[in-house]
Amino acid sequence: MSNTVRQTITCDVAIIGGGIAGLWLLNRLVNDGYNALLFEQTALGGEQTVASQGMIHGGIKYTLSGTLSGASEAIADMPAHWQACMEGKGNVDLTGATTLSDHFYMWSSASALSRMTTFLASKATRGRVTKVSRKDRPSVFQHGAFNGSLYKLVDMVLDVPSVVKTLADNCRERLFHIDWNKAQWHHLPDKKVTLDFTYDGHVHRLKAGQFVLTAGQGNESLLKELGIESPQMQRRPLQQVMVKHTYPHRFYGHCLGAETTPRLTISSHPCDDGTQVWYLGGSLAEKGADLSPEEVITNAKKELEELMPWVDLSKARWATLPVDRAEPKQRNFARPDKAFASVAEECPNMIVAWPTKLTLSPNLADEVIELLHQHSQLPSRGDAPELAFLDRPPLAPTPWDAAFGD
What pLDDT, in 10s, does the model give residues 285-342? 999 999 999 999 999 999 999 999 999 999 999 999 999 999 999 988 887 878 999 9
The arithmetic mean of pLDDT across residues 183-198, rounded, is 96
User: What is the pLDDT, as a whole number, of residue 256?
Assistant: 83
Q: What percent of the chain has pLDDT over 90?
A: 71
Strand partners, 185: 195
d(CA 373, CA 107) in angstroms, rounded, equals 44
The pLDDT assigned to 149 comes to 82
Q: Which residues are paired to 322 by β-bridges?
A: 239
Which of 169, 220, 230 shows the shortest CA–CA distance to 324?
Answer: 220
Annotate 94-134 with three-state secondary structure.
CCCCCEEECCEEEEECHHHHHHHHHHHCCHHHCCCEEECCH
Higher pLDDT, 386 or 93: 93
DSSP 8-state symbol, 199:
E
Q: Count Cβ neighbours within 10 Å for each residue of 135-162 and write b for 16 or more, e otherwise.
A: eebbebbeeeebeebbbbbbbbbbbbbb
Instruction: Indicate the SS3 state at residue 253.
Output: strand
Annotated domain spans of the chain = 5-48+163-234+330-397, 55-89+100-158+235-325
CA 76 to chain centre: 17
| pLDDT for 71 beyond 60 | no
**What residues form DSSP beta bridges with 264?**
255
Q: How confident is residue 75, by pLDDT bands cut at 50, 70 and 90?
A: confident
pLDDT digits (tens, 9 = 90+) for 127-148: 578 889 989 999 999 998 888 8
For residues 122 and 198, the model is more confident at 198
pLDDT at 229 over 70: yes
Q: Is the pLDDT of residue 59 over 80?
A: no
pLDDT band of residue 61 (cuts 50, 70, 90) is low
Instruction: Please determine, for residue 22, whether its predicted confidence score (pLDDT) is greater than 80.
Output: yes
Closest CA to 313 of 406, 402, 242: 242
Q: Which of 165-174, 252-261, 388-397 has the least mean pLDDT?
A: 252-261
Burial class (CB in 10 A: 0-12, 13-18, 19+), 363: buried
Whether the predicted model's global pTM rises above the 0.85 cut: yes
pLDDT at 15: 98
Lowest mean pLDDT among 10-19, 37-46, 65-74: 65-74
> Phi and psi (nearest 5°) for 12?
-75, -50
Mean pLDDT over residues 227-254, rounded? 93
Q: Which residues contact 111 (CB under 8 A, 6 or more apart)?
A: none
Q: How confident is the model at residue 362 (pLDDT cuts 50, 70, 90)?
A: very high
Confidence of residue 55 (pLDDT cuts 50, 70, 90): very high
The reported pLDDT for the residue numbered 110 is 56
**Calculated CA dihedral for residues 250, 55, 284, 280, nearest 10 degrees:** 30
The mean pLDDT value for 8-20 works out to: 97
Confidence class of residue 116 from pLDDT cuts 50, 70 and 90? low
Residue 118: which pLDDT band, with cuts at 50, 70 and 90? low
Q: Name which residue leads in pLDDT, 333 or 48.
A: 48
From CA 267, how far away is CA 251, in angstroms rounded? Answer: 6
pLDDT of residue 1: 42
293, burial (CB in 10 Å: exposed 0-12, middle 13-18, buried 19+): middle
Residues in the chain: 406
pLDDT over 60 at 20, yes or no:
yes
Helix residue spans in 146-235 (DSSP H): 160-170, 218-226
Looking at residue 47, its pLDDT comes to 86
Whether the bond between 394 and the residue before it is cis, its omega within 30 degrees of 0, is no
Q: What superfamily does domain 55-89+100-158+235-325 belong to in CATH?
A: D-Amino Acid Oxidase, subunit A, domain 2 (3.30.9.10)
Query: Which pLDDT score is estimated for 108?
Result: 79
Q: Which stretch of 1-10, 182-191, 325-334, 340-349 has the lowest confidence by average pLDDT?
A: 1-10
Q: What is the pLDDT of residue 123?
A: 46
What pLDDT score does 67 carry? 47
Torsion of CA 220, 226, 227, 230, to 10 degrees: -50
Amino acid 108 reads: S
What is the reported pLDDT for 10? 96
CATH 3.20.20.70 fits 5-48+163-234+330-397, yes or no: no
Residue 173 is classified by DSSP as: G
